[in-house]
Amino acid sequence: MRIDVVSIFPEYLAALDLSLIGKARRDGVLDIHIHDLREATTDRHRTVDDTPYGGGAGMVMKPEPWAQALSAVLADAPAPRPMLVVPSPAGAVFDQAMAYELAELDHLVFACGRYEGIDERAIDWAREEFDVRPVSLGDYVLNGGEVAVLAMVEAVGRLIPGVVGNPASLVEESHADGLLEYPVYTKPSSWRGRDIPEVLLSGNHARIAQWRRLEQLRRTAERRPDLLARLDTGALSDAEREVLRAGGSAPDGKGN
Ligand code: 6GU
């Protein structure tokens, strides 16, 4: 997969050299290019922003540097119509389903806005050559798109074959099946007076799977009841229904 990121703070994206994403880059699995938007300016001050028409606080990113920068990316693109992801608190909310969708594509381009955003005409202009998706990480405001791009590249990149060493770890994790992950434990089995749930020592894989499934439902009901609306309730066992009826409260009443 090819990924281009355009930003006025290219150093922010240095984190993409680290860990599994960094290794995937070095292995040639992810072809990631970081571009400085200011390189696409022509004035002495390398201006990328100006005051908003209609008034109001803050500054707006000028359209021409974006057109120049995105045209340069297109000139080097492996295929026509890359996906242009525009990080914005005014975008559609990024989730695991969107990560899976983006992971199927050959070429993603991220346009990191700062200030109050990018002149809307630059976005409209880009629609002629890109599929454009304004995307938000959630309902809060960041100062710019860079942190959001780090999150999105990691979420999408780890779904590309060869990025995560053991593909099985992609199956049993939060959101893979629309539920939160079950709690996990490692050695020692007794630590500071706290024992792991005995079922995990039983060696009974069916019982363990059943326990984990109930814990997933319990946690989801407790922490993210909004996710349960998408659950196929026709396919639930009696024990699973009971966990949901109890609203995610654990048998000991503590939740977890
Ligand atoms: Cl993607 N960008 C910015 N600037 N703020 C955000 C966001 C993105 N997602 C949530 N808040």
Ligand 1 site residues, Cβ closer than 6 angstroms: 87-89, 135-138, 140-142, 144-145, 148
Residue 252 has pLDDT above 70, yes or no: no
- pLDDT attached to residue 251: 64
- Within 10 A of 170 (CB to CB), how many other CB atoms are there? 13
Q: Residue 211 has which token pair?
A: 């326990």
* Per-residue pLDDT tens digits for 142-165: 999 999 999 999 999 999 999 998
* Per-residue pLDDT tens digits for 197-231: 999 999 999 999 999 999 999 999 999 999 999 99
**Residue of 142, 150, 156 with the most ligand 1 atoms within 8 Å of its CB, for mutation:** 142
User: Which residue spans within 123-180 are E strands per DSSP?
Assistant: 131-136
This prediction has a pTM of 0.94
What percentage of residues in the chain have a pLDDT greater than 70? 97
Mean of the pLDDT values across residues 31-50?
98
* Per-residue pLDDT tens digits for 169-182: 888 888 888 999 99
Mean of the pLDDT values across residues 104-118?
95
How much distance in Å is there from the Cα of 88 to the middle of ligand 1? 5
Mode of pairing for the β-strands spanning 2-7 and 107-111: parallel
In terms of pLDDT, which residue wins out, 115 or 109? 109
How much distance in Å is there from the Cα of 223 to the middle of ligand 1? 23
Ligand 1, atom 5, lies closest to the CA of 142
How much distance in Å is there from the Cα of 151 to the middle of ligand 1? 11
